[in-house]
């Protein structure tokens, strides 16, 4: 039988026998009979206390129904308690049914928060850690309202998980919504006078340590401009956290984020009387001054960045214009030749777009003795190379598309820039199967360059912002230009006109 105990836990009473009863059996037959009679008559007085969490005790009747042969309807709410009870009392069939057949299918990002909270209350650490792992790996797609079931300690474990997959700005927005949700639930609990109920751990207020780790710069180096003022206002409750100094402190990160254009526009509208901004009005005077100073610095930085962008755009347009003039002139000089050509379009570097001419060694069918000599050259010399003279960053450069081996059976094209004696690879094409055997020195011509799927050289994670701004996006299209004999024998007017039309 089960009875309620003070403190919220439950006690299960089961029949048993004391050590004094077993010791009395050595006193002779008469004493043994007396002890046996006393055991049968007073067996209800000898009981064993088994403590289970209150959450598990609420499902003890359902657990006993299964013991006596009833069929269970498993749900997200009763699965963790039944898993605990089946493990505690060694009911292996029930444990297998709950854990392997139900929880394995039901545990997903939408239910992981509930599983995590109940497993923590049941001290089922294996299920709790599994739930935290799922939440961390899919955190960017988790509905923040489901995280209201997590107390601050569990939320800290989640954001500090090494499996957390969420950007810093998005994480700061989710944590802000979590804090707002907690405040709403605390207010509702105060109104209902349920602050000491079963969820008292969740309803307990945040401590300085909780706020410090929830907003730590290790997993939140950048604050969303939408939530910077909220963190500054909410931080007034935690003076120890806001008293920290340094670029990694929460105050410094919030001030830096407040200098972004979207945050400055909201503050400017408030100061001009176009819209209320209660979070700003609630700040301390000293913090208001620091915020305005940061805004002034941010405004100056934005103006300087805009001027640099305008100058870069003008320079890029001039470089592209000069590169086009060079390209059109080169096409005119090569009008009487039959060299193959390549077109590159949609590249982030404007001067790299256009028509590339073959650098020799792969003319489209040169006959006579010249063609026979080219067929006798080794593969390294016959690999197609296409070049385009251009102007980039005020310097005369040559953009080159060339073939290289990528493993034993694959080849890959690269787009590089050559300046002086140096060569720098900018983009790579997808690897293609070298069915012709050109990579191994075969006589057949190599495959054409892939038209799409080009990527920036290097791993995406290793590219900083400045490098991405300089290189830009990879080419959207790369393809050969097949020239008819009559067009090759004439002038290049049709080719240049076609390219102009395609670029427009």
pLDDT digits (tens, 9 = 90+) for 333-388: 555 556 678 889 888 888 888 888 887 644 433 333 334 434 444 444 456 788 88
As a whole number of angstroms, the distance between CA 344 and CA 473 comes to 13
As a whole number of angstroms, the distance between CA 483 and CA 223 comes to 56
In this prediction, residue 454 carries a pLDDT of 92
| Pick from 191, 103, 106, 188: nearest CA to 148 | 188
Classify strands 354-358 and 341-345 as parallel, antiparallel or unpaired. antiparallel
pTM of the model: 0.57
In this prediction, residue 173 carries a pLDDT of 92
In this prediction, residue 475 carries a pLDDT of 92
In this prediction, residue 211 carries a pLDDT of 93
| Pick from 436, 360, 448, 358: nearest CA to 412 | 448
Residue 94, C-beta contacts closer than 8 angstroms, at least 6 positions apart: 63, 66, 72, 82, 85, 86
In this prediction, residue 290 carries a pLDDT of 84
Q: How far apart are the first and last CA of the chain?
A: 85
Question: How many residues belong to the chain?
Answer: 504
As a whole number of angstroms, the distance between CA 451 and CA 344 comes to 9
Mean pLDDT, the chain, rounded, equals 77
Residue 136, C-beta contacts closer than 8 angstroms, at least 6 positions apart: 158, 161, 163, 164, 165
In this prediction, residue 121 carries a pLDDT of 92
In this prediction, residue 215 carries a pLDDT of 93
Query: Which residue stretches of 193-238 are H helix?
Result: 200-203, 208-214, 228-234
Q: At what angle do helices 285-333 and 493-503 cross, to 10 degrees?
A: 160
Contact 388/352 with Cβ under 8 angstroms?
yes
CA angle, 303 as apex, 299 and 307 as ends, to 5°?
Answer: 170
For the chain, list residues with pLDDT below 70. 1-46, 190-203, 273, 275-276, 326-339, 360-383, 435-444, 459-469, 482-504
Helix (H, G, I), strand (E, B) or coil at 458: coil
As a whole number of angstroms, the distance between CA 375 and CA 444 comes to 10
From residue 470, how far is each of 309, 312, 458, 465, 473 by CA, in Å?
A: 12, 10, 14, 9, 9
From residue 129, how far is each of 196, 318, 369 by CA, in Å?
A: 27, 58, 75
Q: Among all chains, which residue has been given the structure tokens 């590249």?
A: 347
Q: How many CA atoms lie within 13 A of 138 on its CB side?
A: 16
Contact 172/260 with Cβ under 8 angstroms?
no
Residue 214, C-beta contacts closer than 8 angstroms, at least 6 positions apart: 152, 155, 156, 159, 175, 179, 206
For residue 401, with 0-12 CB atoms within 10 Å meaning exposed, 13-18 middle and 19 or more buried, which class applies?
buried
Q: How many CA atoms lie within 13 A of 453 on its CB side?
A: 9
Strands (E) in 208-345, as ranges, are 341-345
Cα 328 versus chain centre, distance: 45
Cα 41 versus chain centre, distance: 68
From residue 146, how far is each of 27, 142, 177, 292, 440 by CA, in Å?
A: 65, 8, 11, 37, 58
| Pick from 220, 202, 103, 187: nearest CA to 147 | 202
């Amino acid at each position: 039988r089960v009875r309620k105990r003070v403190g919220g836990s439950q006690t299960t009473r089961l029949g048993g026998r004391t050590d004094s009863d077993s010791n009395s059996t050595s006193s002779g037959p008469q004493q043994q009979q007396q002890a046996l009679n006393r055991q049968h008559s007073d067996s209800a007085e000898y009981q064993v206390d088994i403590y289970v969490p209150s959450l598990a005790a609420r499902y003890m009747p359902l657990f006993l129904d299964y013991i006596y042969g009833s069929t269970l309807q498993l749900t997200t709410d009763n699965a963790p308690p039944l898993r605990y009870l089946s493990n505690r009392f060694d009911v292996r069939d029930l444990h297998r049914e709950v854990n392997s057949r139900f929880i394995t299918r039901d545990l997903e990002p939408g239910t992981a928060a509930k599983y995590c909270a109940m497993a923590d209350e049941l001290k089922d650490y294996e299920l709790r850690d599994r739930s935290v792992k799922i939440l961390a790996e899919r955190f960017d797609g988790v509905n923040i309202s489901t995280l209201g079931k997590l107390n601050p300690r569990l939320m800290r474990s989640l954001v500090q998980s090494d499996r957390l997959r969420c950007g810093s700005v998005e994480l700061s927005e989710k944590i802000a919504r979590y804090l707002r949700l907690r405040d709403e639930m605390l207010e509702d609990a105060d109104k209902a006078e349920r602050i000491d109920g079963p969820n008292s751990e969740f309803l307990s207020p945040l401590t300085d340590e909780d706020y410090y780790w929830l907003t730590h710069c290790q997993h939140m180096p950048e604050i969303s401009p939408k939530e910077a003022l909220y963190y500054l206002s909410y931080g007034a409750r935690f003076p120890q956290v806001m008293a920290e100094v340094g670029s990694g402190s929460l105050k410094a990160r919030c001030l830096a984020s407040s200098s972004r254009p979207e945050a400055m526009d909201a503050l400017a509208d408030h100061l001009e009387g176009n819209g209320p901004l209660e979070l700003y009005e609630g700040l301390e005077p000293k913090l208001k001054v620091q915020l305005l100073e940061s805004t002034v610095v941010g405004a100056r930085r934005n103006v300087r960045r805009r001027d640099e962008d305008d100058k870069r755009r003008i320079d890029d347009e001039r470089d592209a214009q000069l590169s086009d003039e060079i390209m059109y002139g080169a096409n005119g000089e090569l009008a009487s030749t039959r060299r193959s050509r390549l077109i590159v379009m949609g590249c982030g570097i404007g001067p790299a777009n256009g028509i590339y001419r073959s650098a020799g060694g792969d003319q489209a069918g040169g006959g006579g003795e010249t063609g026979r000599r080219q067929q006798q050259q080794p593969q390294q010399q016959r690999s197609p190379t296409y070049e385009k003279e251009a102007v980039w960053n005020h310097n005369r450069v040559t953009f080159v598309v060339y073939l290289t081996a990528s493993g034993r059976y694959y080849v890959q094209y690269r787009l590089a820039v050559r300046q002086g004696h140096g060569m720098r690879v900018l983009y790579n094409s997808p690897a293609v199967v070298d069915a012709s055997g050109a990579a191994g020195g075969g006589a057949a011509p190599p495959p054409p360059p892939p038209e799409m799927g080009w990527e920036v050289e290097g791993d995406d994670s290793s590219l900083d912002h400045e490098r991405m701004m300089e290189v830009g996006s990879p080419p959207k299209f790369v393809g050969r230009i097949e020239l008819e004999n009559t067009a090759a024998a004439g002038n290049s007017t049709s080719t240049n006109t076609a390219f102009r039309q395609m670029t427009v």
